[in-house]
Amino acid sequence: MPKKLRIGFIGTGGIAHAHMKAYKTFDDVEIVGGADIVPGKARAFLDKWELPNAKAFESAEELIKNVEMDGVTVCTYNTQHAIPTIMALNAGLHVQCEKPMSFTLQEGVEMVRAAKKNNRILTIGFQPRYDPVRQHVDQIIQSGELGKVYYVQSGGGRRHGIPGSTFVQAEKAGFGCLGDIGCYSIDECMHAIGYPKPLTVSAIATDYFGKNPKYWHDADTFNVDDFSVAFVRCEGGVTFVFRQAWAMHADSIGDTLWLGTEGGIKILNGYQQVNSPSRVRMFRDIGGNEVDSVVKPFYPFDAYNPIGKVDIFAAKVRDFCDAIKENRPAPIPGEEILYNQAICDGIYRSARLGEEVKIEIPEI
């Protein structure tokens, strides 16, 4: 029988369960251990998933030292992504790290350096990359049909969507809405156009909802952002306008938009649009005529599960495993996501300082 892939967990809180749910469906993977700094938490997690032979520890270091593994999934909160990831890479393990990549840009740089030095996979957990609609949009934009894309704007957001738990504690999450859902928006907008290098950021961040007991039950301890906007200048004359909200008095902060010299794509956001098959629109001029088309979702037949939706979370976990087995590069490479991290870091710094900041990415 071929050898099974041996995977361990670092951090066994909320999202670790979603990873485990996916892993439990894979016949070729064995979960061999877990670590969590809260005493007893890793053991309880492994027991819940009926893994009595998997070993539990109270530090990532002990797990890495004592258990033979091919890779780990890092499911700690944001300010604790870098340390265990670097430790695992230096021990020769492949890593799937949850999003956002880290809290600071420098942490992200150190993570990428460790992956490069040890020639190991460092992939970051942006599962919307596996959404067929998103892949369809990426494909159109990357085909060059829009000409030169010079402007991108993020959209979406939540009306009442402050998540609670460690997401609203600055010492654990670092940033709030920006690190939670903002990094997804940045990935959606920038991956499609090949992640041009960000150069400067001017941002603001506010906390009007999290700090108001009318909208958030724990307003006294809330200490992160719940809304941010930014103007990002990128290499190649690309402007990126970022907007994101955990809470607002609107059904959406606007549409997601890519404007090119030959065409544009818009993703309509908001309650009315979210499940609409005509949500994605493309605009062009053909023979002097204004042409507006609907970009139809394209689902490859075998991507359906029984309820008709693609399990994008399982797809991301599977891709990590396959990349290890097939000796492929990281599916969502740390080097690429470093630009995402640089934007998050720039937004955070600019909002704090109240002025535009330069983005300088150290050599890897």
Ligand X SMILES: NC(=O)c1ccc[n+]([C@@H]2O[C@H](COP(=O)([O-])OP(=O)(O)OC[C@H]3O[C@@H](n4cnc5c(N)ncnc54)[C@H](O)[C@@H]3O)[C@@H](O)[C@H]2O)c1
Give me the residues that bind ligand X (CB under 6 A), please. 10-16, 35-38, 41, 60, 75-78, 80, 83-84, 98-99, 125, 127, 165-166, 180
Alpha carbon dihedral 131, 132, 134, 139, in 10-degree steps, equals 140
C-alpha to C-alpha distance for 253 and 156, rounded to whole angstroms: 5
What's the closest the beta carbon of residue 179 comes to ligand X, in angstroms?
A: 6
For ligand X, which is the closer residue by CB, 8 or 264? 8
Strand locations in the chain (E): 5-10, 29-35, 55-57, 71-74, 94-97, 122-124, 149-153, 198-206, 227-234, 238-245, 256-260, 264-267, 280-286, 289-294, 357-358
What's the closest the beta carbon of residue 208 comes to ligand X, in angstroms?
A: 22
What's the closest the beta carbon of residue 130 comes to ligand X, in angstroms?
A: 11
For ligand X, which is the closer residue by CB, 13 or 161? 13
Contact 76, 10 (CB under 8 A): yes
C-alpha to C-alpha distance for 25 and 317, rounded to whole angstroms: 11
Contact 175, 206 (CB under 8 A): no
For ligand X, which is the closer residue by CB, 14 or 147? 14
What's the closest the beta carbon of residue 140 comes to ligand X, in angstroms?
A: 25
For ligand X, which is the closer residue by CB, 163 or 297? 163
For ligand X, which is the closer residue by CB, 35 or 229? 35
For ligand X, which is the closer residue by CB, 65 or 148? 65
Contact 245, 177 (CB under 8 A): yes
Mapping DSSP onto H, E and C, the string for 7-60 reads EEEECCCHHHHHHHHHHCCCCCEEEEEEECCCCCHHHHHHHHCCCCCCEEECCH
Exposure of 145 by Cβ count < 10 A (0-12 exposed, 13-18 middle, 19+ buried)?
middle
What's the closest the beta carbon of residue 292 comes to ligand X, in angstroms?
A: 33
For ligand X, which is the closer residue by CB, 44 or 199? 44
What's the closest the beta carbon of residue 340 comes to ligand X, in angstroms?
A: 13
C-alpha to C-alpha distance for 263 and 207, rounded to whole angstroms: 37
For ligand X, which is the closer residue by CB, 14 or 237? 14
What's the closest the beta carbon of residue 138 comes to ligand X, in angstroms?
A: 19
What's the closest the beta carbon of residue 348 comes to ligand X, in angstroms?
A: 15
What's the closest the beta carbon of residue 166 comes to ligand X, in angstroms?
A: 4
3-class DSSP state of 275: coil
For ligand X, which is the closer residue by CB, 16 or 238? 16
C-beta nearest to ligand X: residue? 13
Sequence-distant contacts of 34-39: CB under 8 A, at least 24 apart: 34/8, 34/9, 34/10, 34/63, 35/8, 35/9, 35/10, 35/11, 35/59, 35/60, 35/62, 35/63, 35/84, 36/10, 36/11, 36/12
